[in-house]
């Protein structure tokens, strides 16, 4: 599904600020950025407009994507760029689909320059009130073994993704089953932290920064409330998280 241009622009603005304030890259011009899981390349194009030397990669590159977007090799798994190529690697709602952290994390680290930063926006495993892709309540809580009767119950109640409206409940269940079994890979924040530390030697969740600057409705609500650190933790676990990894410079 194509994202709204307004959402892409706001995501690019968020990352632009994060690149400056968290990544320490003060000038956009020389900063080389990779969008990991770029899809149709909309974020790549927007980052280019902001002055970044932006590129993208994905396991399937949309035919409409700009030439700056390249296909990821799968066997062996390899990002199509040389080592030490990028100052920043970004991803947006990608890590919950990638079932190979043992491959993509070392590759992200490989293409980052020493001192470079990876930044990921991703929904938490315990996202509420509904699984954020197929919109079935609590399906992500059952992961990886949500029973088909759960999908069927909600389909018969008419609770489903707008793309499935008007379809028979059996067809909806089949679509949910296929997506759930093959296209999501939920990890808890603790698992992301452990894997990040194993590959990068570090892991950060700058959730106060996310609450202060993200464009999502939940972040906007939290900005109006006290205890921003607490609401950042709530967002990380039950809505959207912001994960940061850094490639250390050689000693």
Please, what are the domains in the chain?
5-125+187-246 (3.40.50.150), 139-182 (no CATH)
| The model scores a pTM over 0.75 | yes
Q: Which long-range contacts (CB under 8 A, 24 or more apart) does 44-53 make?
A: 44/68, 44/69, 46/8, 46/9, 46/11, 46/12, 47/12, 47/15, 47/16, 47/90, 49/12, 50/12, 50/13, 50/16, 52/16, 52/19, 52/28
Residue 1 pLDDT class (50, 70, 90 cuts): very low
123-151 tens-digit pLDDT: 999 999 999 999 999 999 999 999 999 99
Average pLDDT, the chain: 94
Q: What average pLDDT does range 144-169 have in this prediction?
A: 94
Kindly tell me if the per-residue pLDDT of 29 is higher than 90: no
């Amino acid at each position: 599904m194509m994202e709204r241009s307004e959402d892409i622009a706001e995501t690019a603005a968020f990352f632009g600020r994060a690149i400056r304030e968290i990544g320490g890259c003060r000038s956009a011009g020389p900063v080389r950025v990779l969008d990991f899981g770029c899809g149709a390349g909309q974020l790549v194009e927007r980052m280019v407009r902001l002055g970044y030397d932006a590129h993208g990669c994905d396991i399937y590159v949309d035919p409409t994507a700009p030439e700056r977007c390249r296909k990821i090799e799968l066997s062996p798994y390899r990002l199509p760029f040389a080592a030490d190529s990028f100052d920043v690697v970004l991803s947006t709602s990608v890590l919950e689909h990638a079932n190979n952290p043992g491959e993509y994390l070392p590759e992200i680290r490989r293409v980052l320059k020493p001192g470079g930063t990876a930044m990921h926006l991703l929904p938490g495993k315990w996202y509420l009130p509904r699984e954020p892709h197929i919109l079935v309540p609590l399906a992500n809580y059952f992961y990886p073994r949500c029973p088909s009767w759960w999908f069927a119950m909600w389909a018969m109640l008419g609770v489903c993704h707008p793309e499935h409206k008007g379809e028979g409940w059996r067809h909806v269940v089949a679509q949910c089953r296929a997506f759930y079994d093959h296209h999501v890979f939920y990890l808890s924040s603790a698992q992301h932290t452990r894997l990040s530390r194993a590959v990068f030697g570090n892991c950060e969740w700058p959730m106060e920064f996310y609450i202060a600057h993200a464009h999502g409705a939940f972040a906007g609500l939290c900005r109006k409330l006290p205890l921003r650190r607490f609401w950042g933790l709530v967002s990380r676990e039950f809505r959207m998280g912001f994960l940061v990894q850094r490639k250390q410079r050689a000693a």
